[in-house]
Amino acid sequence: MLKLLLNYSRYQLSRDNQYLSFMPKRQRPSPRVSTVSRAKRAKLHTAPFSLSNKFEFRPDPSMTGTSTLLPTPDKSKTDKKDYRTIRLSNGLTVLLISDASYPLDKLDEEEALLAEEEGEGEAEDGDEGDEESDEDDLEEEEEDEDDDDEEEGEEDEERPSNRLNNTTTTGLKMSAASLCVHIGSFSDPEDVPGMAHFLEHMVFMGTEKYPDENSFDAFNRKHGGFDNASTDCETTIFYFEIPRKNFVEGMDRFAQFFISPLMKMDSMQREREAVDSEFQMALPSDYNRIAQIYGGIAEGHPMAKFMWGNTKSLTPGLSDEEMHKRLHEFRVRHYSAQFMSLAVQSQHTLDSMQEWVENIFSSIPNNGLELETFHHLDKPFDNPRFHKLYRLHPVQNIYQIDLFWSLQSLLDKYRTKPLHYMSWIIGHEGKGSLLSYLRKKVWALSLTAGCQGDGFEYNSSCSMFSISIVLTKSGYDAVDEVLKAVFGYLHMMQSQAPSQRIYKEIQEIERLDFAYSEEKQPSENVETLSENMHFFPPERYLDGDDLMFEYDEVLIRRCTNHLEFENVSLFLKSRDIPEEQLDKKEPWFETKYSEIEIPEAWAAACKDKSLSKEFHLPEPNPFIAEDLAIREADLEPSKYPIRIVEDDVGELFYKKDILFLQPRGYIYYKIRSPLPLLSLENSVLLDLMANSVLQLMIEDVYPADLAQLYYALYSAETGLVIKVSGLSDKLPKFLVMILNHLVKMADNIQPSLFNAVREQTRKDYFNHSIKPKKLVRDVRLTVLQDVYWSPYEKHNVVRNCTIEELQSFTRKFLGQGFLQGLIQGNFTSAEAKHIDGLVRSTLPLKSLNREDVTEIRCNQLIQGSHLLQVAGFNKEDTNTLVTNYYQAGPGGVREHAILELVMMLMEEPVFDTLRTQEQLGYSVFNTLRNTYGVLGFSVTVNTQATKYTSEHVEERIESFLKMFVSTHVNEEKVAFTASSLAKLKVRADVTLEEEVGRHWGEITSKEYNFSRAEKEVMALSKISFEEVLDYFKPLLFDSSTCRKLSVHVIGHKEKLEAKESEDRTFSLSVFKDKENSVSDIVEFKQKLETHPVLYIID
């Protein structure tokens, strides 16, 4: 699957910021992190599985010990894993990773004990990582990768996460393997664009040893694991994660994709459709559209290729027989052992893993050919079309100017990382920076600079460096002045030598981050490392992507001096550009654009260096950690957080980290208030308050962000959330700085900045609402929650808000509320209380009134089936979203466990049936729903209006559910799934952040059920097959108990290219022509009864 690019920023303003992406962070060209041409496959193909299959590893003595030992990678001092690098006899390079931080013999005992306790001699650990209590956005992780507004819905924030790795009852972790082939979309044949991506899909379609088309994915999901793959420009990665006990069999199945894949002809059309659906989902992405135009400038170079693939490109006038032959020839040429790297991580010894790998992966053939390379194509943009101005209408409502430079390939310059140094300085947001100047002029609110580090921007042919500026309306009108400032800043940099002081500062920050980084999830770790293995020597596999090894003034100066006006390509995005001026159309995405000479006035502004005196290099960073000592506990260690402060104003929970033992900390606070629930306008004012604070504090907090101190400040449905985390030394100082900006915002906000923030917030509401996958959620929650202010409603009223209203609201909000806090990590309880005292002394909070409401309640659907169809807001988007939601009602831990079990059991067949077999759409998933204590589940399909009607998709979901109950819900599978689910709930946390996130969810939900996972495991051990049927079947088939809401956001069959007015307001267009149609949401909602405030505790 091709990866949809998230955005230009490696570091975002905050992962949790709901609508705003104002604050871009520095760019680092992480050599070979995925790109525009790389997107993860949504949950892959599945098939019914057998519980009786046995696997026995039989080593071949002739294969054991045949590998060559290579140098061992350098690791950080806190890394407890052991490493070994080997090269197999067939040329495959392998990195073995033994996670021996927990005694391996004890793990064997725990695995045996778990199987014995559950009466499942064959039962294994599992991982279902997609079922959330109500984590509506987390459920959409698979298809949300193109979003750059990572949103924190209240369903997420207000309910604890039940991700299935939630306790530390055992030391068991998942095992993982990743194989990277050093070939990607650059190798596509000229007449078959998308061939590499297509091949990535096809190798999963069965092997000689395991011929069932979806057997690998079925095997993984049976045991709670998962698999994925992605295609980049010069690499293709395959990886999987599975419980430790099933790892050897998993590797044997995995290896067959590269030993003897079947790639049957009769699978080709289905996978063409899958690739095409993936492309259709990518169409509304502005980044993808620009990348295709930008790459097209490099005529005759692989960067100009159409890498996604679709039904047209994969049906190039060849017969299926010819295409099938070409596909196999392409695989034989490129999928060869000497072009591959493998990373393997497990809680096993290095010797055991080496024996397995030698016996399993040595059978991958080596074709004896040389790798196809592209380093000789070193000037892809050396043509007259590059130094031009390209203009286009964006999908999103945005004004943006992008400046692109094409430099030499810098893959081999990882020891210096010149682009990282340059992006650090140009993307700086503190005093004397380019963004600081543009913000003072109110011409821009965000700026990103650097290289994405993916295969499109950072490859063996060239390296891209870009500066992207999100403009205000006044900035768009003065774009020549913006460009004058950009080149003035660059002149300031070029007129002096590179700063060794700044380089050493970056070195130290990166050293600390590497030395004390939190452990990655096994699948993420091996995925990254398997790719790194192609670009670094073995000693540098672990740190080559992160550390700055040597200062090279000549190289840095050469790269900096290349950022001249004569070498730049400009891209301007605005909906204000007259339609008739866009006289060209890109053939694959059908994006209208224009290509013209850069206006003389702009060129003159770019050559004017007079503004260079306005800028200076970043000052020394005061937030770099110095005290890295591990604190001694001053309270008895506790398994769960304890409440150490409690009064009418708030509560503070605390837990000392005694497991990970790193100098890291997490400080989370939430100010609960009834105000945002009282009116739509109040909810908008809360968003404006958060966004205004973020803008006002950029200069002060940016150094902390560079020092790897992370922060988030965002509005939730019931209040304001503030989070800081990172090395614990300077965290309290950082938090107080943020709080001071918060309390002073009403006095410091100026009308010009307020107007810019208001307009940007309106654009963010717009950009959220035009995405069908967001709108389908918003419409559903509008019906289900007693209070839900949707972004499309906020978009319509935000311009009515005044600065005086914001100031008044802010003072009122900060004057009264309930403070919830969690401090966890490298702090003593005394330090935690001191921090809480600082927070309370900074915030002028008084206690809430008894009648104030800060909880949300869920409405009970009327019995029967209800259809709510609305038109998507983006008239150029063909994507249709269908969500069938089935409401169960209030429940406890037992009922939640039943639904979670059924969802885990359903995940395989729903994907296999609706996606793989019926090809309804690329994205298909089922989800457990916990909407403020009311349980239910949903099935969602992302299709296209050009392919299927929403009614057809809904009917196929219903048909699937009938088949699912009759075919898949049987006693054997229920027992096995309950066993897998229970074991996965006792899996160890990999990071402190996981544990903190779980605890925070319990606190903000006000359930405080910190032992939830243990209770769920107990419930699962007692649930019978009959109980599952008795609870689940009435949700579907009994008209007296079925409460169904089917929400359809319908895409547009024909693209309507009429220009949208800047003053456009959103109004839902509801279809009312069906018997069970909801014709008026407000009227329908008034008929619903509302549940009381509910908590799931027992």
Q: What is the DSSP letter of 26?
A: B
Three-class secondary structure of residue 1037 per DSSP = coil
Backbone angles phi, psi at 722, to 5 degrees: -130, 125
**In the structure encoding, which two tokens stand for residue 1078, read together?**
């909801």
Give me the catalytic one of 155, 200, 355, 717.
200
Alpha-helical segments (H) within 843-892 = none
Q: Secondary structure of 668-710 in the HEC alphabet?
A: EEEEECCHHHHCHHHHHHHHHHHHHHHHHCHHHHHHHHHCCCE
H/E run at residue 667: strand 664-672
Q: How far apart are CA 188 and CA 194, in angstroms?
A: 6
H/E run at residue 525: helix 522-532
- Residue keyed to tokens 């045996």: 112
Q: How far apart are CA 1043 and CA 742, in angstroms?
A: 44
Within 10 angstroms of residue 722's Cβ, the number of other Cβ atoms is 23
Residue 637, Cβ density class (10 Å: 0-12 exposed, 13-18 middle, ≥19 buried): exposed
Alpha-helical segments (H) within 145-267 = 154-157, 195-202, 215-222, 247-259
Residue 1082, Cβ density class (10 Å: 0-12 exposed, 13-18 middle, ≥19 buried): exposed
H/E run at residue 596: strand 592-596
508 catalytically annotated: no
Q: Are 400 and 392 in contact (CB under 8 A)?
A: no
CA 330, distance to chain mean position in Å, is 31
Q: How far apart are CA 816 and CA 847, in angstroms?
A: 6
Q: Are 171 and 238 in contact (CB under 8 A)?
A: no
Residue 148, Cβ density class (10 Å: 0-12 exposed, 13-18 middle, ≥19 buried): middle
Alpha-helical segments (H) within 939-989 = 950-967, 971-984
Three-class secondary structure of residue 261 per DSSP = strand
Residue type, 838: L
Q: How far apart are CA 493 and CA 612, in angstroms?
A: 9
Backbone angles phi, psi at 818, to 5 degrees: -120, 125
235 to 73, 92, 456, 529: CA distances (angstroms): 22, 15, 11, 13
- Residue keyed to tokens 């309930």: 818
Greatest C-alpha distance within the chain: 80
Pairing of strands 389-392, 569-573: parallel
> Which residues, including other chains, have CB under 8 Å from residue 522's CB and lie 6 or more apart?
99, 173, 174, 175, 176, 241, 345, 346, 990
Q: Hey, CA dihedral for 901, 907, 908, 912, is it positive or negative?
A: positive
Of how many residues is the chain composed?
1098
**Long-range CB contacts for residues 1040-1044, cutoff 8 Å, separation at least 24:** 1040/863, 1041/863, 1042/863, 1042/864, 1042/865, 1042/886, 1043/860, 1043/861, 1043/862, 1043/863, 1043/864, 1043/886, 1043/887, 1043/889, 1044/861, 1044/864, 1044/865, 1044/866, 1044/884, 1044/885, 1044/886, 1044/887
Residues tagged active-site: 200
